[in-house]
Structure 1
Amino acid sequence: MTDKTAITPNTHTIPPAKFSHGVRKGNILQVAGQVGFLPAEGGRPLTPAGPTLREQTLQTLANVKAVLEEGGASWDDAMMIRVYLTDVDHFAEMNDVYDAYFEEQRLTRPPAARTTVYVGLPAGLLIEIDALAVLG
């Protein structure tokens, strides 16, 4: 049986509850829901990248990417991405930011499947994203 390995990039703090930022088992990597917190530096408190959906979406994608890379994967390995928004009115803007981000990533494989749902998040957070990757 393949061991399960917890993934925590050096840009992330220890999770505040009993979970891992990512878990890899064999060639499967599950990235836990990430939000738009700036990278952890010098013990400063976690703070959102900014108040706007654009700022938080870009930072959230960067945080997911950090977990993917720490686990030996990339966006090309992502099979499923789930986006959680707090406001239905943010859908079009999030799509614009998301599409531009992945244009810049220059994927060599088809993009991942995606689901978007609407949820409640802690005050000030507008978006959360998780991903499932299968490594070649």
Structure 2
Amino acid sequence: MISLLAAYVVYLLTANRMSLSYHIGHAITHRSSAYCQPIIHSDTGRCAGVEMLLRWKKKRQGWISPDVFIPLAEQHELIIPLTRYLMNTVTENLQLFPPRPSFYISINVAAEHFKRSTSSTISARFGCRRTRCPH
């Protein structure tokens, strides 16, 4: 009986993590969960840029914190696809952002990106997509 109870507790503890990793993959596949958080200039009160974020809201837990889903995405090797998803989302929606040269868009990049590719390669790929260059 105790082993059955222990198995049920383990199931409850892992079911949420498994469910969340499913939601991460679902967000990439179905292109959802991306949010723009405005960055307001303190002197002018004007929007200086946005930070692209991923957020999930679950019925029972409410909003899932990045300190929960980012380690899970790294564990399931989904962190690079998540970042690519955000970069593609920005690129596809550039026309929605102000055309001011001072306006910027921020995306957090995980350490895994730097293990697999140099930061200049990441920037070049993103910049190339942004300006629609031919390479």
TM-score of the aligned structures, taking structure 1 as reference length: 0.33
Higher relative contact order (CA 8 A, sep 6+): 1
Q: Which has the higher helix share?
A: 2
- Structure 2-normalised TM-score? 0.33
Which protein shows a greater Rg?
2
